[in-house]
Amino acid sequence: MADTSVAGNIPASGRRSRIAGVGGYLPEKIVTNADLTRIVDTSDEWITARTGIKQRHLAGSHETAAFMGAQAAAAALAQAGVAAASVDAIILATATPDEAFPATAVRVQALLGITTGFAFDISAACSGFIYALSVADSLIRGGTASRVLVIGSEVYSRILDWQDRTTCVLFGDGAGAVLLQAAPAGGAGILSTHLHANGAYGDMLYVDGAVGQRDRPGTVVMKGQEVFRHAVSKLSAAVDEALEANGLTHADIDWLVPHQANLRIIDAMGRRLSLPPERVVITVDRHANTSAASVPLALAEAVNDGRIQPGHLVLMEALGGGLTWGSALARF
Ligand code: COA
């Protein structure tokens, strides 16, 4: 995957962006479903049957969104063979930033030893990575940047109500990153991104507080069944939209890299696309839902273990609080 071409030399008129490196970071501590039965009234059978989740990684005190994001970003840079100093921008999607400001992306920038360019966070819950990828792709195609680190990094363990069995069993912590860089139009790269939001559904999945609300940091609140229904219908429409926009069909897709919220939603999407299960990248069993980190973590796993190969067409999709949702289609 190493790319030694000088991304900045490709004129804006003939550019697209391509994923030149991927990386992931998972906290050391693993918590199984059986472990959770000691905290809330639940069972491995219930969690497995309803979600497909068997375990999740939970962050230690030093494993913040910035720390994990920097680890994942460093791995993506190393895979791309790109020096940190040549990165033009860092876009980090998170709902669990280290601080209200500076942006966690700026903390990552410092951890990577980068002192130039720009860095900012994106808040779009579980769709955050797709949103960040879309913005980064636009910056590269428009000529504003040539190399952008796109990161999803989350520590949901800090915003969960550990007494609420309906939410605390569903999430995990982690970070994933890609290095997106300018590439000649017509070759490998991001073919399209499509973003959506509808705030009318804001109360379906949200955190009931924030640092701006004194004494109310907030925890995750979710109407699970309603989110489930919207996830299947909206993501199905998003997938059709992405394929139509590129004149492609379900049969053209080599890999589906879906947001990892629930195995039943993922299975429904795979069936909708007529993709055999072995063409769908699944990490939810081991990572649970890592929100904005879930798609780049799954992508990194499938690239690193050799499943995703040069030339493959990869469809990424996600839905999250907002509601926000979207897709990204990439040729590797
Ligand atoms: N362990 C055991 N029982 C549990 C439980 C748990 N962790 N959580 C809920 N239950 C119980 C409920 O209390 C309910 O019991 P009752 O029938 O006695 O009231 C029963 O299980 C069924 O709950 P329900 O909410 O109807 O289950 P479900 O089949 O809808 O599954 C979700 C719940 C959350 C797994 C499912 O709705 C879901 O995955 N939704 C989408 C969530 C999602 O994708 N969120 C992230 C989007 S980014």
Strand (E) or helix (H) holding 89: strand 89-93
- Verify cis geometry, omega within 30 degrees of 0, for the bond prior to 27: no
Is 126 an annotated catalytic residue? yes
- Which CATH number is correct for 7-184, 3.90.1010.10, 3.40.50.300, 3.50.30.50, 3.40.47.10? 3.40.47.10
Cα–Cα dist 176/180, whole Å: 13
pTM of the predicted protein model? 0.96
Ligand 1 pocket, mutate which of 32, 50, 284 (most atoms under 8 A from CB): 50
CATH topology of 7-184 equal to that of 189-331? yes
Is 189 strand, coil or helix?
strand
In whole angstroms, what is the distance from residue 315 CA to residue 270 CA?
Answer: 11
CB atoms within 10 A of CB 282: 21
Residue with tokens 């999709």: 317
Buried b (16+ CB within 10 A) or exposed e, 294-316: bbbbbbbbbbeeeebeeebbbbb
Decide: 223 in ligand 1 pocket, CB within 6 A.
no
The minimum-distance atom of ligand 1 relative to the CA of 319 is 48
Nearest partner of 86 among 120, 65, 112, 60, judged by Cα: 112
Q: Which atom of ligand 1 is nearest to the CA of 227?
A: 41
| Alpha carbon distance 98, 248 (integer Å) | 41
Pocket of ligand 1 contains residue 46 by CB under 6 Å: yes
Residue 42 CB–ligand 1 contact under 6 Å = yes
The pLDDT tens digits along the chain (332 residues) read 444 455 767 877 789 999 999 999 999 999 999 999 999 999 999 999 999 999 999 999 999 999 999 999 999 999 999 999 999 999 999 999 999 999 999 999 999 999 999 999 999 999 999 999 999 999 999 999 999 999 999 999 999 999 999 999 999 999 999 999 999 988 899 999 999 999 999 999 999 998 888 888 899 999 999 999 999 999 999 999 999 999 999 999 999 999 999 999 999 999 988 899 999 999 999 999 999 999 999 999 999 999 999 999 999 999 999 999 999 999 99
Measure the CA–CA gap between 155 and 26, rounded to whole angstroms.
11
Q: Residue 283 C-alpha to ligand 1 middle, in angstroms?
A: 20
pLDDT of residue 2: 43
| First-to-final CA distance of the chain | 10
Residue 171 Cα, ligand 1 centroid: separation in angstroms? 13
Nearest 5°: phi and psi at 29?
-75, 125
- CB of 45 closer than 6 angstroms to any ligand 1 atom: no
Instruction: Tell me the domain boundaries of the chain.
Output: 7-184, 189-331
pLDDT of residue 52: 98
Q: Kindly report the protein residue whose alpha carbon is nearest to atom 42 of ligand 1.
A: 224
CA 189, 190, 195: angle at the middle one, nearest 5? 175
The β-bridge partners of 151 are 92, 177
- 189-331 folds as Peroxisomal Thiolase; Chain A, domain 1 (3.40.47)
Question: Structure tokens of 265?
Answer: 């939603």
Beta bridge partners of 178: 22, 150
Please name the residue whose Cα sits nearest to atom 23 of ligand 1.
166
CA angle (13 as vertex; 296, 6 as ends), nearest 5? 60
262 in contact with ligand 1, CB cutoff 6 A: yes
Catalytic residue among 194, 259, 262, 287: 259
Phi, psi of 59 (to 5 degrees): -70, 140
Between the CA of 220 and the centroid of ligand 1 the distance, in Å, is 14
DSSP 127: G
Task: Match 């030399």 to its residue by tokens.
Answer: 9
**Residue 276 near residue 251, CB atoms below 8 Å:** no
Task: Considering the candidates 33, 126, 168, 287, report the single residue annotated as catalytic.
Answer: 126
**Cβ of 302 below 6 Å from ligand 1:** no
> Could you tell me the CA-to-CA distances from 173 to 66, 78, 97, 158, 159 in Å, in that order?
12, 23, 13, 9, 11
- Name the residue at shortest CA distance from atom 24 of ligand 1: 225
Tell me the one-letter amino acid at 27. P
- Active-site residue, selected from the candidate residues 57, 230, 262, 289: 289
Label the pairing between strands 147-155 and 89-93.
parallel
- If you measure from the C-alpha of residue 172 to the centroid of ligand 1, how many angstroms do you get, rounded to a whole number? 17
From residue 258, alpha-carbon distances to 68, 186, 239, 285, 325 in Å are: 21, 25, 11, 13, 11
Q: Is the CB of 53 under 6 A from ligand 1?
A: no
Count the neighbouring beta carbons within 10 Å of the beta carbon of residue 31: 18
C-alpha distances out from residue 219 to 161, 206, 214, Å: 6, 8, 14
Does residue 261 line the site of ligand 1, with CB under 6 A?
Answer: yes
